[in-house]
């Protein structure tokens, strides 16, 4: 399902978004570097003024024996799952660290149905699925956000922090403040017109509404 972002785009003549074959919508105003190292899972929205730093990828280290493990030296930088929305002015910047005496950039992985609010800086190692990142948050390098997490607006998640599944975090530095309710992400369809999407739920309808 994953399509390279550089794959052929069906050129819509006027709209703000370019839609790829797998339904990804990428704003024309997004600043994307290193497209070859970015994977979008399909039906994912990249809004205006988003910076995707696909150029910060893993380098084949000189100390590594090149023939031994070709998989570890893949130049993958950013992968984003399905139905994920990256709001305007976000920056996705893969994290780097010194590992065994060599500095390396590491891939940034974002799961499905993740909403990243406007103006966030994401350097996390991984964001799992059904995560809601509030506006203006900073996810510092190598933090790991597990499933069903709500990050309150303006939080700074410190480096290396693991946010356990189903928790609410906030603050600077962020700490676990509570738990999301059992009904997190459950959108009950019913008579009377429910919202088309809820925080942490399936964002398919939100993606559909983006034009």
Partner 1 sequence: MSVSFPYTYYACSCADNTSTQEKRVSQEPQSAQDEDERTFDPRSRRSNFSLYPIEHLLYCTECHEMRCPRCVTEEVICWYCPNCLFEAPSSTIKQEGHRCSRNCFNCPICTSPLSVNSLEQPDPPPDDKPANKFGGPYILHCPYCAWSTLDIGITFPRPSNITGQLAKTLNGGLPRPPRDRKPSSSLKRSDPPTTHHLDDLPSPTSDTSTSSSPEPPSARTPDPQDRYHHLLAFYKHQLSTSDAALLPGTTSTSASELGPGSPSSIARLLHMYGSSIRSRAPESGPSPMREAATPEEGLLIYDAAAEAADDATIRAMQTTAWDTHASVSQRLDATNRHARAVDDLRPISPLLRTKRAKRCGACRQILAKPEGKVTSVRSKIKLLALQNLPKLSIKPLASPSTMPPPGTSAAGRPTSTLLTTFSSPTLALPALSPSSPFALRPLTTTHYLLTLTNPLYDSIRVHLAAPSALRGRHGAGSRVTILCPQFEVGANTDRRKKGERERVEKVRREEAFWTVLGVGRIVGL
Partner 2 sequence: MSETKRVSISAPQGTPSEGRRTSTTAASRQSLAAKRQSLNFPKAPTVIDPSAIVSTHAILTGLHPITIGPDVVLHPYCKISSVEGPVTIGRGCIVAERAVVGFTTETAAQGDSALKERDVTLNRNVVVGTSAVVEAKVVDEGCLVGAGCHLKGGSNVGKYCKIAPMVIVQPDEWIYDFMVVYGQNARRRDMTMITNKDTVFALKKEEHEQHLAVLKRLIPSNLTKWQ
- Determine which residue in the list 134, 139, 151, 202 makes contact with partner 1, applying CB under 8 A: 134
Cα 30 from chain centre: 14
Of 16, 63, 22, which is closest to residue 39 (Cα–Cα)? 22
Whether residue 115 contacts residue 84, with contact meaning beta carbons closer than 8 Å, is answered with yes
Whether residue 169 contacts residue 152, with contact meaning beta carbons closer than 8 Å, is answered with yes
Residues 147-166 within binding reach of partner 2 (CB under 8 A): 154, 156
Strands of 17-20's sheet, edge to edge?
9-10, 17-20, 25-27, 45-46, 85-86, 115-116, 132-133, 150-151, 167-170, 175-179
DSSP 86: E
Helix (H, G, I), strand (E, B) or coil at 204: helix
Residues that contact partner 1, how many (by CB under 8 A): 61
For tokens 């899972």, what's the residue?
A: 41
Q: Choose the binding region for partner 1 from 2-10, 31-39, 64-72, 117-125 (rule: CB under 8 A).
A: 117-125
Of 92, 91, 88, 87, which is closest to residue 125 (Cα–Cα)? 92
> Binding to partner 1 by residue 175, rule CB under 8 A?
yes
> Binding to partner 2 by residue 57, rule CB under 8 A?
yes
> Binding to partner 2 by residue 208, rule CB under 8 A?
no
DSSP 24: -
> Binding to partner 1 by residue 165, rule CB under 8 A?
yes
* Residue 56 or 203 with smaller CB distance to partner 2: 56
> Binding to partner 2 by residue 143, rule CB under 8 A?
no
Choosing among partner 1, partner 2, none, which partner's interface includes residue 51 (Cβ < 5 to 8 Å by kind)?
A: partner 2
Q: What are phi and psi of 147, to 5 degrees?
A: -65, 155
Choosing among partner 1, partner 2, none, which partner's interface includes residue 152 (Cβ < 5 to 8 Å by kind)?
A: partner 1
Choosing among partner 2, partner 1, none, which partner's interface includes residue 31 (Cβ < 5 to 8 Å by kind)?
A: partner 2
Residues forming the site for partner 2 (CB under 8 A): 31, 33, 51, 53, 55-57, 59, 89, 91, 93, 96, 98, 102-105, 119, 121, 123, 136, 138, 140, 154, 156, 172-173
Residues forming the site for partner 1 (CB under 8 A): 16, 47, 87-89, 97-101, 117-119, 130, 134-136, 140-141, 146-148, 152-154, 156, 158-168, 173, 175-176, 178, 180-184, 186, 188-197, 206, 209-211
């Amino acid at each position: 399902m994953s399509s390279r972002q550089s794959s052929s785009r069906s050129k819509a003549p006027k709209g703000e978004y370019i839609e790829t074959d797998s339904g990804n919508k990428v704003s024309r105003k997004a600043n994307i570097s290193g497209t070859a190292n970015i994977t979008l899972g399909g039906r994912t929205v990249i809004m205006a003024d988003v910076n995707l730093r696909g150029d910060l990828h893993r380098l084949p280290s000189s100390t590594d024996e090149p023939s031994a493990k070709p998989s570890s030296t893949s130049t993958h930088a950013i992968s984003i799952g399905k139905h994920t929305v990256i709001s305007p002015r976000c920056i996705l910047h893969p994290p780097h660290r010194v590992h065994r005496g060599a500095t390396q950039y590491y891939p940034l992985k974002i799961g499905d149905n993740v909403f990243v609010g406007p103006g966030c800086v994401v350097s996390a190692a991984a964001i799992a699925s059904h995560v809601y990142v509030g506006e203006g948050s900073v996810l510092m390098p190598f933090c790991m956000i597990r499933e069903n997490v709500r990050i309150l607006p303006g939080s700074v998640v410190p480096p290396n922090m693991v946010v356990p599944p189903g928790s609410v975090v906030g603050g600077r530095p962020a700490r676990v403040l509570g738990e999301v309710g059992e009904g997190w992400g459950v959108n009950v369809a019913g008579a009377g017109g429910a919202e088309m999407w809820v925080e942490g739920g399936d964002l398919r309808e939100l993606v559909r509404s983006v034009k």
